[in-house]
Amino acid sequence: MLTLATTNPCEPEIFASLQGEGPSIGRPSTFVRLSRCNLACEWCDTAYTWRFAGDNRPHRDGLAFERTANQLALDEAAVAHAVAALPPERLVLTGGEPLLQGAALARMLVALDALRPGFHVEVETNGTVAPNTALDARVQQYNVSPKLAHSGNPAALALIPERLAAWAAEPRAFFKFVVAGTDDLAEVLELQQAYAIPGPRLFLMPEGRSSDVLRERSRWLADFCASNGLRFTDRLHIHLWGDTRGT
């Protein structure tokens, strides 16, 4: 079984859209959003995947979501059928933290191959969880987003040295750091140097849930990327559809 987020109660968040961030920005993609996360970012825009009633981990909105309306369990075959029914051949497994459900995702991809082979599989991860071996064999791209100090997560939980080193050595892994202010930039450069993250595989993305905030932060962040040999990524889906589920 897979534990999924929902768009509406009893409707899994499986949808076709454009990839809004990172190296595949603008590409038509099918998304499967998983529920549950081992971290708790104060600015998380998908807090409905983890901050359920009774969870006191901090979030700037202060909202607690009702679990049964926002979380749904489906067997792997049902998820595979839902994915196969959508046109894009690029599949993005996102969350939450998808790698917490690696074994079940591997089984889902086996079922998907039997229905419609040839998907390009991307996994979006916070970088703290090692990929399941069976899942790893079926993944073409990892979008790794380690969380900086401004996320509110303790570094001991969010920045695990052996995992960062492993991702840096993985040619399929692209790093995406969420940046809210100029104070975050020194932390990014320290991590890049400490783990020898190649500039062509390192993206900086402004934190924000509205076009106005993203544009304001993009101005100085894009200049920083250009001056330091890093890649810039926007949040295309926010500009197109706003901060909404299923986009």
Q: CATH number of the domain that 49 lies in? A: 3.20.20
At 39 the pLDDT is: 98
At 206 the pLDDT is: 98
247 is a domain residue: no
At 70 the pLDDT is: 98
Q: How confident is the model over 173-218, as pLDDT tens digits?
A: 999 999 999 999 999 999 999 999 999 999 999 999 999 999 999 9
166 is a domain residue: yes
202 is a domain residue: no
DSSP label of 43: T
At 12 the pLDDT is: 98
126 is a domain residue: yes
At 193 the pLDDT is: 98
Total number of domains in the chain: 1
186 is a domain residue: no
At 231 the pLDDT is: 98
14 is a domain residue: yes
Please state whether the predicted TM-score (pTM) of the whole model is above 0.95. yes
Pairing of strands 90-94, 28-33: parallel
169 pLDDT band (50/70/90 cuts)? very high
Boundaries of domain holding 8 = 2-174
Q: How confident is the model over 83-126, as pLDDT tens digits?
A: 999 999 999 999 999 999 999 999 999 999 999 999 999 999 99
Q: How confident is the model over 124-161, as pLDDT tens digits?
A: 999 999 999 999 999 999 999 999 999 999 999 999 99
